[in-house]
Amino acid sequence: MSALALTIEQEEIVAAVAEFVDRDVIPHASELEHRDEFPTSMVETMIGMGLFGTTIPEEYGGLGLGLDTYALIIVELSRGWTTLPGILNGSFIAAWMIRNHGTDEQKERFLPKLASCEIRASFSMTEPHAGSDVQSIRATAERTADGYAINGQKMWVTNGWRSGIIMLLTKTDPTTDPPHKGMTGFIIEKEPETEPPGLTIPMPGLKKLGYKGVESTELVFDNFQAPAEWILGGEAGIGSGFQYFMSGIEVGRVNVAARGVGVAKAALDDSLRYVQEREAFGKKIGHHQAVQLMLAKMATRAEAARLLTVQAAQRKASGERADLEAGMAKYFATEAAQENALDAMRIHGGYGYSLEYRPERYYRDAPLLMIGEGSNEIQQLIIARRLLEQHRI
C-alpha cells in the first residue's frame, strides 16, 4: 500500500475515530487537561471501539490490524488530545512485546485481557539516573528460592498507578560485560490503583508542564517478590531483556511519531480556521503574505511527518528492520509538532497565549514527544549510524 493512499477499511476506521475525536474529545479536552483529570468517558469509548486491541490478533480478541492502521488511529486521537494515545501506548507496547517475545502461556493469559482492556499496561525502563543510557539501570532482580527479589527505583512510568501489568526491565546479572547481556524483562502483575507488598507508587504522580490527564509515576521496589513465570519469555528470556525492551521502544516510536503528526495537524487546523475569522488592516489575516508563509510551512511539516510515520509503520509491520525509518519519523514528526505549535501561537497572537484557546496546550504537550521513547538527539545518532552501516566504503 502506498503511503499516499488508504484502503477502504482504513478509511472507515480513521473516519470513525475522527468522528469520535470531533464529537467527544476536542470540545472537552482542554477543560480536562487544565484540571489534570483522567478522561474516563473518553477511554470507555475507546474501549468500546476496540482500540486497545487494534494490533492484537483476532485469535486473542483483538482487531488484528496492521501497525500502519494503528498509526493512523493515533494521529486522529492526538489531533484531539495527545494524552489519549499515551494511555493506549503502554498496552500497545506490552501486547507487542508479549506477542513477539512471550511464552505461549503469557500470550494466552495477557493478550485477551489487553485486547478487551480488562487490564491496562505500563512500560518501565527509565530510572532517575538512567534515561537514554539504558545499560546503566540499577534495578536488580536477584534469584531466590521462590523466584526473584526485585529492588530499585523507576521513573516516568505512564499509567503506573492504573495499570494491571508492568513491563519491567531489570538487571539479573549486574556483573555481565557488556551490561545489556545481564538484563531481564518481567511482566509484573498487580491490582490497578493498589500497592502490592514491596512496591510503592507515590501518588499523586509527578507534576508536568503538559501531558496531563494521565499519571506519570515513580515505582519503588523494595524486596518485591516476583515468581519466575513472570519473566518475559520464560527461562529463555533471562538475559534478553534489553533486546526485548528495545523492540518495544521501536514500535513505541511509531506511536510517538504519530502523536507528533496529530499535534502538528491540530495546530494547522486551528490556524487555518482562525486566519479566516480574524481581521487586521482591513482584511482577513489569512490574506497577509507573512501569515501565508507560516501556513505553508506548517502544512508541509504536517504532511511530511505523516508520510514518514506511515512509511515507518509499514516497514515495521512487514517484519523488516525499521530503526532508521522509525528514528526519522519520530525525530521529524515531533519537531514538526513543536514548530507548528509555536507557529499556531504566533498566528493566534494574544489568544494563542490564552487558556481559552488550544495552541497553548499544543505548545505544552509537544516537548514531551521530543523526549519520550528516546530523545531526538538519540534519534539523530541512530539515523546517522544506520546510514553509515548502509553506505560503507
Domains, the chain, with CATH or none: 8-116 (1.10.540.10), 121-240 (2.40.110.10), 243-390 (1.20.140.10)
pLDDT attached to residue 117 = 97
Write 237-240 long-range contacts (CB < 8 A, 24+).
237/101, 237/184, 237/185, 238/172, 238/184, 239/172, 239/173, 239/176, 239/181, 239/182, 239/183, 239/184, 240/101, 240/183, 240/184, 240/185
pLDDT attached to residue 9 = 85
Marked catalytic residue, from 127, 303, 373, 377? 373
pLDDT attached to residue 375 = 93
pLDDT attached to residue 6 = 75
How far from chain centre, in Å, is Cα 96?
13
Task: Give the residue ranges of DSSP H helices in 172-288.
Answer: 241-275
DSSP state of 82: T
CA–CA distance, 246 with 319 (Å, rounded to integer): 15
3-state secondary structure of 27: coil
Q: Which residues of the chain have pLDDT under 70?
A: 1-5
pTM: 0.94
Say which amino acid occupies 295: L
- Asked about 19 being catalytic, the answer comes back as no
pLDDT attached to residue 4 = 56
